[in-house]
Structure 1
Amino acid sequence: MHESLAEYYDLRLGLYDTCLAIIFFAIIYIFAFHFKKSKISKNPEYKYFILGLTMKVIGGFSFATLTVYYWKGGDTLSYYKAATDLSNVLISNPIRGIELLFTSIKDFDVTRDHFHPYAVDFINDKDVLLLVKITSLLNIIGLYSYGTTTVLFASISFVGLWMAYSNLCKIYPKFSKHLLIGFFMTPSIIFWSSGVLKDTITMSCIGWVMYSFSNILFFKHKVIISILLVIISSIIIFILKPYILYILIPCMLIWTQSHLKNLIKGSFIRIVLVPIIIVLFLSLTTLIIRDISAAAGKYDLNKVETTLEGFRSWHGYLAKTQDQSGYTLSSTDFSPLGMIRMLPEVLNVTFFRPYLSEIRNMPTLIGAFESVILLLFTLYLILTRRGGFFKLIFYNKDIRFMMIFAISFGFIVGISSYNFGALSRYKMPAQMFLILALTLIHKLTPNKHFIKK
């Protein structure tokens, strides 16, 4: 192997990439404009459709630029380089290429397919392989341009999140402008969920799951399609980041249970049926999580301490050797009581750090400013709403679902990241739901919204 890793990662966003990306975005923009025009009369939130798409594409291209010229490597370029090799096979030998697209990681052998040795070493697990397959197809559509492939990734992420945003706006039509912040106006979220990354796809899938559940629960339409979307999105999340499902599925079932409970009229019937519903949903959640865990490989719940220790060691190493901002926790006791003790410190790390004094690189700077704003906004709501802050969380099922997800997922990523660069990516789902929950708490009037909505 004569080529160094630096030479392998040597990629430029030249005139071809930039111009082609602009052309692709213009084409997508034209379709988006006409789609918005067809929807806006019945869906007022579509006045923000182009803005949301634009923010995602800007985030994606910003990420691509930093990847090429600042980091000069990393997982993103590894995905793209390996995907380019697969794209070449698909073009030169379509039958073999299609065969590889449907090959599992266990049987994925490309020694005779002119894959670069670095790519062969990189494709070492099913999550990597799936993203390489997705990227290879988008790379062909994008005419072998890293810039256009990024635009397509950003657009895919946008569509899933937009569907969730649109349905949430139908539940809270007066707050469409404010809900936009959590989905499309938080810098770190649009930055880390718009490039060639697993996070881009998983965030889109989370959006589709939320959209589908709200279709079934609130709007009672497109039920069959929504069930299929939940299944497909869950499978993709399971392959790419199965630990997301450990929190997402129970929270979605809690959301469902809360909705069903509110549909039950009559005190006696409620007293009899509600405990039965809760027991059924707890049993269903346990069975689902057990089955997911059994097939999750390194993310098996029985291996959680080993996996977390591996994450902690690796991210700690990066913090020491690659000038990444690291952090430590005062305790790593994973017993139930130990985790309860750790909760305040871990949530502080996840949502309110890095502090401005902990900045060591440009990406961390964005996260630090966001953390300060989020901390001040949270304190403002607690101090001004007082008891109303917690009453809204308790009584409003949508806020309750978002808060449970944000706290649970925020805890998991907080105890596993150990550097703020990784944490910025991992915490995106929790951060999004926390911002959405705080936005609703801010906009809803407590005295009128202690409704079991």
Structure 2
Amino acid sequence: MELKDLFLTPLYLLLFYGIAYALRRKATNAFTRKYFIPALSVKFVGAIALGLIYQFYYSGGDTYNYFNHTKIVYTAFTDSPALGLKLITANGEYDPATVKYTAQMYWYKASTEYFVVRVASLCSFFCFDTYSVIALMFAGLSFSGMWAMYVTFVRISPLTYKKLAFAVFFLPSVFFWGSGLMKDSLCIGALGWVFYGFYHVTIEKRNILFAALFGALGIYVLISTKVYILLSFMPPALLWVFNENNQRIRSAALRMVLKPLFLVLGVAAGYLGATNLTAGDEKYDVEKIGERTKVNQEYLTSGVENGSAYNIGSFDGSLSSLLVVAPQAVVVSLFRPFPWEARSAIMILSALESLLLLYLTVSLFYKTGIAKTFRLIASKPILTFCFIFVIVFAIGVGTNSGNFGTLVRYKIPLMPFYLAALYIMQQQAMKVKARPQARGPRRVPQLAAIK
């Protein structure tokens, strides 16, 4: 960070808060309004804190690598706006006009990392290439998608709006790793818009144009950065659509006839979508993803010297070995590191979060009963979707990481969905128990649609 960060950051904060207060009335209702500014504020805090920790604790890292590339693009833009725009739209190709700039960029031919550089460079044009302001802009972009995620959850389970706010916004690792100048900030924001768009277009069928537009934009961002998040989302989302619409069919016989058909179509659509999205991709091609995961896991595990590595068993990249290590991968993604495995302050926070998730999970299963809990998950399409998505994603990141340092970043997309599912399950279980004693109507908050 530089001296201009100290002068420009407060000014831009005032501007961003002014925009937020102007938008709050349209984006909230009486029940959710009080969370809008606090949720945005913790995103801002996370963005600044991440930059400070990378500068003074790690002495560098991905966020500053992105910024260093951004400075090169900004320099090209000040030399000639046409050159700056050409770099933003470049796709790794050689161009004599820009070669003196691209020769300085290590990630110029790395499409996923360079996408982040493109977005950061666009932000830099409006803030004199100031790191902290760019980080705040990333926090704002991430917040927009996470607010869309929150209001979608609230529309599905209105009575749980208080706990859902904590699940989506106030988990420390989520707002820390998902707020600054990082790929993770764009990804979790994009996932929120995909979730919002998917629900409103295919299930609720309201605000279809708006939801489709921003949902498609979220899909584009995920394809450009971390397509495996989208691959984990698609199959359970298709099953979610089927379950929601299947429950609306009055004829039980027709439901039974259509159920296997739609399940087969959903699996086929998910597979075709996954293979088409990843065909030829060096990192995520479905045909090579097992081998790539094995290599990545070995590299991350062997490269750790601070004691944060973990071992989930032997994994050779095959489907059979994946099935063997899958349960341990889910456990390590959701409930580890344990407190005694933490080796730093950041890992301690992650361990406390994992302990909270473990406590809520055990408590819910104990109070509700194992059989009743699984029946509840199967009977509520949103719960079925959340748990399948979380399990699929947890297996992916659990086997692909190898150490807790990378895992804490990789797993943040699943955490809001898992915690939200637990809170919705709590509400549903309480509703079932309280049904015989119900004496009168309760005031149920209804969320005004985002326009």
If the length of structure 1 is used for normalisation, what is the TM-score?
0.90
Cα distance in 2 for partners of 1:413, 1:48 equals 30
1:314 Cα shift? 2.6
1:174 aligns with 2:162: no
Match of 1:160 among 145, 151, 154: 145
What amino acid maps onto 2:289 in structure 1?
A: V
Corresponding residue for residue 328 of structure 1: 311
The answer to whether the aligner puts 1:314 opposite 2:302 as a matched pair is no
Compared with structure 1, are the counterparts of its residues 122 and 220 closer, same or farther at alpha carbon in structure 2 (3 Å cutoff)? closer
Q: CA deviation at 1:143?
A: 2.2
The 3-state SS of whatever aligns with 1:71 is coil
Equivalent residue in structure 1 for 2:20, among 9, 32, 36: 32
Deviation, structure 1 residue 222: 2.2
Matching of residue 46 in structure 1 with residue 33 in structure 2:
yes
Which amino acid letter does the alignment assign opposite residue 259 of structure 1? E
**Matched-pair contact (CA < 8 Å) for 2:203–2:241:** no
- AA in 1 matched with 2:268: S
The Cα offsets for residues 348-395 of structure 1, whole Å up to 9 and x where unpaired, read as 211111122222222212111111221122111111111332222111
Q: Distance in 1 between matches of 2:7 and 2:161?
A: 34
1:249 equivalenced with 2:237 (yes/no): no
Structure 2 Cα separation of the partners of residues 192 and 166 of structure 1: 22
- Superimposed CA distance per residue, residues 307-362 of structure 1 (whole angstroms, 9 cap, x where no aligned partner): 11331233123312xx2611112221544443333222111211111122222222
- For residues 398 and 63 of structure 2, the distance between their equivalents in structure 1, rounded to whole angstroms, comes to 23
Q: Do 1:100 and 1:108's aligned partners in 2 also have CA atoms closer than 8 Å? A: no
Q: Which runs of 5+ in 2 are unaligned?
A: 436-451
Residue 148 of structure 1: CA displacement? 0.8
Report matched runs for 1:215-230 at 5 Å. 215-230=200-215
- What is the alpha-carbon distance in structure 1 between the residues aligned to residue 244 and residue 281 of structure 2? 30
Quick check: 1:362 aligned with 2:348? no
Q: Would the aligned equivalents of 1:255 and 1:401 in 2 still touch at CA under 8 Å?
A: yes
The 1:115–1:283 alpha-carbon spacing in structure 2 relative to 1, beyond 3 Å, is closer
Structure 2 counterpart SS, 1:363: helix
Which region of structure 1 is more displaced relative to structure 2, 345-354 or 309-318? 309-318
1:7 corresponds in structure 2 to none
AA at the equivalent of 1:26: L
Q: Which of 399, 403, 426 matches 1:442? A: 426
Whether 1:184 and 2:169 are equivalent positions in the alignment is yes
Following superposition, the deviation at residue 131 of structure 1 comes to 0.8
Partner of 1:380: 363
Q: CA deviation at 1:259?
A: 1.3
Aligned-pair distance for 1:274? Answer: 2.4
Change (3 A) 1:18 1:324: farther
- 1:396 equivalent to 2:384? Answer no
1:347 partner amino acid: V
Read off the aligned partner of 2:367 and give its amino acid letter: T
After the TM superposition, which residues 195-344 of structure 1 pair with which residues of structure 2 at under 5 Å, given as runs? 195-320=180-305, 323=306, 325-344=308-327
For normalisation by structure 2, the TM-score amounts to 0.91
**Alpha carbons 1:324, 1:420 under 8 Å: kept:** no
Q: Conserved in 2, the CA contact under 8 Å of 1:17 and 1:147?
A: yes
Unmatched 5+ residue regions in structure 1?
1-12
Give the whole-Å Cα distance in 1 for the aligned partners of 2:264 and 2:320.
24
Deviation at 1:147, TM superposition (A): 0.8
Choose which of 333, 353, 359 in structure 2 pairs with 1:350.
Answer: 333
The separation in 1 between residues aligned to 2:416 and 2:97, in whole angstroms, is 39
Query: Per-residue displacement from partner, 1:1-51 (whole Å, max 9, x unpaired)?
Result: xxxxxxxxxxxx3553134222212211122123223454x4531221001
Distance (Å, rounded) in 2 between the aligned partners of 1:22 and 1:258: 48
**Inter-partner Cα distance in structure 2 for 1:286 and 1:146:** 40
Select between 410-419 and 220-229 the one with higher mean Cα deviation.
220-229
One-letter amino acid of the counterpart of residue 436, structure 1: A
C-alpha distance in structure 1 between counterparts of 2:208 and 2:280, whole Å: 28
Task: Look up the match of 1:62.
Answer: 49
Contact 2:308 / 2:405 at 8 angstroms: preserved in 1? yes
2:111 to 126, 134, 139: 126
Higher relative contact order structure (alpha carbons within 8 Å, sequence separation ≥ 6) = 2
Alpha-carbon distance between aligned partners in 1 of 2:36 and 2:421, rounded to the nearest angstrom = 21
- What is the aligned partner in structure 1 of residue 440 from structure 2? none
Contact 1:242 1:296 in 2 (8 A): no
State percent identity of aligned pairs: 26
1:150-174 per-position Cα deviation (integer Å, ceiling 9, x unaligned) = 1111111000110121122122221
Give yes or no for contact 1:234–1:245 (8 Å, CA) kept in 2.
yes
- 1:9 corresponds to: none
Q: What is the match of residue 390 of structure 2?
A: 406
For 1:39 and 1:184, the matched residues in 2 are separated by: 16
Cα deviation, residue 107, structure 1: 4.0
Distance (whole Å) between structure 2 residues aligned to residue 263 and residue 351 of structure 1? 33
